[in-house]
Structures are given as C-alpha cells and as structure tokens.
Amino acid sequence: MTSLPSEIPERLGKTAEVFSAYDTCLTLEKKLQLAFDKGDDVRDNLIYVRILGYLIHYVPTDQGLESIIEEVRSCADADDSALFDVGKSYYDHFIRAFRANRSPIQTSSDCASPPLVDTHTDKMNDSLEEVTKSHGGAKKKALVRDGYRCLVTKRYDETSVYKIPTVFNLASADPNRKMGVTHCAHIFDESTDANIEKDEHERNYAATMWAVMQRFGYESIPDELNGSRVHRLENVMTLESTVHSRFDNLAIWFVATKGTPNRYKLEAKHPWFLDEYPEYVTFTTPDPVNLPVPSPIYLAIHAACAKVAHLSGAAKRIDDLYAEMEGCRTLDPDGASAMLLEHAISELYARTPLFE
C-alpha cells in the first residue's frame, strides 16, 4: 500500500468540492493508519479509503470524477462505515472485475490457426464476422490483424508459423525473428459480460460492474460487450504468455501518448517487469474498418484500474486472499474468515463458463 499524495493533480481543477472530498479521504486515511500501526485490524478499511482517494487521481473521465466526489460527499454526515461501503463497492465491482475474474488462459493450440488470406474480400469479411462469436474465433481474427505476432514482444505465434506457409516464410526472412506461444487477451474479461440469460448471481455481479462503468460515463460499453460481443476485436489483443499473465493481473498496463493515435507507453507495478519490453507500443492494422485496433477507451479503464489497485493495496489483498484460499481447509468459527469466504464464492462464479 502507498499512502495517498498530500496534493491532488493540477489537471483536476482544484474546486472546493474536489478539495473537500479528497480531504475527507486524507483525514480518514491518517486515522486508520494510526490504528493500523497500533495493530488494529483495519487493513481492509484502509484499502477502501485509498481506493476512493486514488480514484480521484486516476478515474479516466470527468463524469467519473464527479461521481466519486459526490459519493464521498454523500457520506459526510454519516459514520465512517458509509465511506468504507463506497470504497468496498469499487473494490468488489471495479478492481476485482478486472483482477480476479480472469478465465483460464487458452493456448494457441486451443483452436486451429486460420489461413492467411485477403481480409478485404467480402468472403473473408463474412468469415471474420462469424468467428468473433467465441474465444477461439476472436483469437483467429486478432492474429490476422496483429500479423500473427505478440503486440508487445513482436514474437511470432509459433502455431501459425508452423501451420501457415506465408507466416513461415515471413518468419524465415526475418533475421531478428523470435517465436512464442500467444494468447487472445481480453481487456474486459469474458466473465464480465452483461448477457441477461446468465445465472442470477452472475447477472447481478456483472450488472453492478456495468453500473460502475455508467457512473464513469461509459453508457454504451454494456451494449458493446454484451454476450458474445465481448469477443469484438476492440476488446482483444494477441499477447505472449508472460505479457498476457501480467496484463490480466494488472501488473502491466498501456497508457496512451499524446499526438500519435494508438501509441502507448508501457507501465508496470515493478519497473523490472518492463526490462524485456519496448518502452512504447503502437497498434496498427491492415484494415481499420474490418480489423479495428484495441479500444483506447477500454485500455484507459484497464490502466486506471491497475494504478488504483496497486497503489491502494487492493491488488496485494486479492493475491493474499488467493493464497489463503489455496491453503485453507476450514473456516474460522469466530467469523474471521468472512472476507475469505466472500472471495471464494465470487471466485467460484467467476470461473463458471459463460459460453456453452
């Protein structure tokens, strides 16, 4: 966990409302830190307050900032638990929606590699539209767009190299060629789609996550990613195994640069995670209409979540709960395992396949 900065960024426009809400977070954080240092069990509440404070810093839209400020201000006349509840709602339905709900990684061998053909023909356009209705289909389409390479490391997808003659020839002619196992990485995971036919618990969980998106001003995202639309090209990237794992775990993220469309600076929770990667990555496509690049909006939401998760301590808390869950055989009768039980139940639903 990292303590909240004493000042808010200049870009926020230091209005009285922003100052007041942020001061509320700072004051409560200081109080909780003193209690934590004395050994009191306030870790989770401290995380919830820091989530709200860091959201004020990093929420990606003005409407989102206004929503956070209003939610903090609405707790001014209540006891501290009201603010903790607000912070916990973002922990549960924003951070965990990105950090804890990831489906098991599918390898490139999970689906047959597509033929390398002209993506501008009507026949191929129809084919590409059809294959994006599943995870495997999304990978096929993303491979075509991404040149059968990881978007970050530029390693060739080894299955494609060995199965597609044209890709084999490209790799053979590349003196700097490297190969690896790539995956279809979703920015918004498959388990966060808003399909109304889902189980009641899944539907409520997803709906709450989409409610957060709407409070941030992203009114269209629930429809854009509803059901099988979660596999749309704007939501997927071809990434090598380690890059994919780090992206899913919010350990690395993409920050848009000014002046050049689709150019991103890679950032990470630990600088050494970036040692083998380029500082900047630019997304390109051979067909902007039929093969669009990853959405800058989706990536901005992911980046904001990653920053808040690590700085607030929420990401480490989730990791700790995973470790406890793996080693736990019985629950504490005095209720001390309540947080672990809640995490385990949510994880069970998150791992339930959403597409038959």
Of 102, 85, 86, 58, the residue nearest 306 (C-alpha): 58
The answer to whether position 176 is within a domain reads: yes
Is residue 84 included in any domain, yes or no?
Answer: no
Phi, psi at 338, each rounded to 5° = -60, -45
Predicted local distance difference test score (pLDDT) of residue 10: 80
CA 114/CA 117 separation, integer angstroms = 9
Give the pairing of strands 182-186 and 179-180. Answer: unpaired
In terms of residue numbers, what domain contains 239?
A: 108-245+285-292
> What do you get for the CA distance between the two ends of the chain, in Å?
40
Residue 270 located in a structural domain: no
Specify if 192 maps to a domain.
yes
pLDDT in tens, 304-336: 999 999 999 999 888 887 677 665 555 555 554
What are the respective helix, strand and coil percentages of the chain, to the nearest 5?
A: 55, 10, 35
For the stretch 75-107, pLDDT in tens is 988 889 999 999 999 999 999 888 754 544 444
Q: 45 is written with which tokens? A: 């509440």
Q: Return d(Cα 270, Cα 34) in angstroms, integer.
A: 27
Look at residue 163 and tell me if it is in a domain.
yes
The answer to whether residue 212 is domain-embedded is yes
Residue 162 lies in a domain: yes
Q: 213 lies in a domain?
A: yes
* Tens of pLDDT, residues 26-40: 999 999 999 999 999
Q: pTM of whole model > 0.85?
A: no
What tens digit of pLDDT does each residue of 1-12 get?
789 999 888 877
Band of the pLDDT at 338, cuts 50, 70, 90? low
Residue 16: partners with Cβ closer than 8 Å, 6 or more residues away: none
156-157 and 179-180 strand pairing? parallel
How many domains does the structure of the chain reveal? 1
